[in-house]
Amino acid sequence: MLDAAAGVFCERGFAGASTNTIAARAGVSIGSLYQYFPNKLALLETLRERHVKGLWGVLGCACDEACTLPWPGALRHVIARCSGYNGHHASLMTILHKELPVHSRTMDRMVLAQSTFQKQLRNFLEVHRGSIKVSVDQALFMMPALGRGIFTAAAIEQPDTVKGDRLTDEIVSIMLGYLT
């Protein structure tokens, strides 16, 4: 149902999507859809939860992998994995950021996933501490904030840039400038 909802939202936008269309695409009855999701907003919130958890999972793995790489290639590896994930989901990101407030009730359910990612990012930063001029705690705050801001703006204002290496290169340059 979530894959069907993502497809319908990306094709028709939130306003143009209907639960009937989503149910039909998913191959379920409207009653079955409503058993799990009371409305299309609940579907969209659940899609955001899945998207963000997926992103944190990809980034966490990239941080773990990058601990064995030399700086600045390690940073590029992490940003490239983020770019790849976001590029693959650019249309969905646009819908999520336009239609949902930054914080909602689903954000509370993501605490464990966020905590796991933050530990992986902290470990990545600790491993590369000698190459970073700012404190690990400050970098732990700024890196996700910068990445989120840039990817969100790009997805909404310049969606074609989210899918290419150019945005990755620019984010790496910005983060290297800040971190080193």
| pLDDT tens, position by position, 21-50 | 999 999 999 999 999 999 999 999 999 889
Same domain, residue pair 11 and 80: no
Q: What is the overall mean pLDDT for the chain?
A: 88
Same domain, residue pair 143 and 61: yes
Same domain, residue pair 99 and 158: yes
The full DSSP string for 109-133 is GGHHHHHHHHHHHHHHHHHTGGG-S
Same domain, residue pair 67 and 25: no
In angstroms, the CA 65 to CA 60 distance is 9
Q: Where are the beta strands (DSSP E) in the chain?
A: none
> How does DSSP classify residue 70?
P
Same domain, residue pair 33 and 52: no
**How many structural domains is the chain composed of?**
2
Same domain, residue pair 92 and 30: no
Question: Tens digit of pLDDT for each residue in 86-123?
Answer: 888 888 888 888 887 655 555 566 666 677 888 999 99
Q: Give the CATH number of the domain where residue 33 resides.
A: 1.10.10.60
Same domain, residue pair 145 and 79: yes
134: left (phi over 0), alpha (psi -120 to 50) or beta: beta
Cis peptide, bond prior to residue 144, ω within 30 of zero: no
Q: Give the CATH number of the domain where residue 99 resides.
A: 1.10.357.10
Which range has highest mean pLDDT (82-96, 144-158, 165-179)?
Answer: 165-179
What is the model's pTM? Answer: 0.83
Q: Give residue 173's domain range.
A: 46-179
- Percent helix / strand / coil, the chain, rounded to 5: 85, 0, 15
Section 72-89 average pLDDT: 91
Same domain, residue pair 1 and 90: no
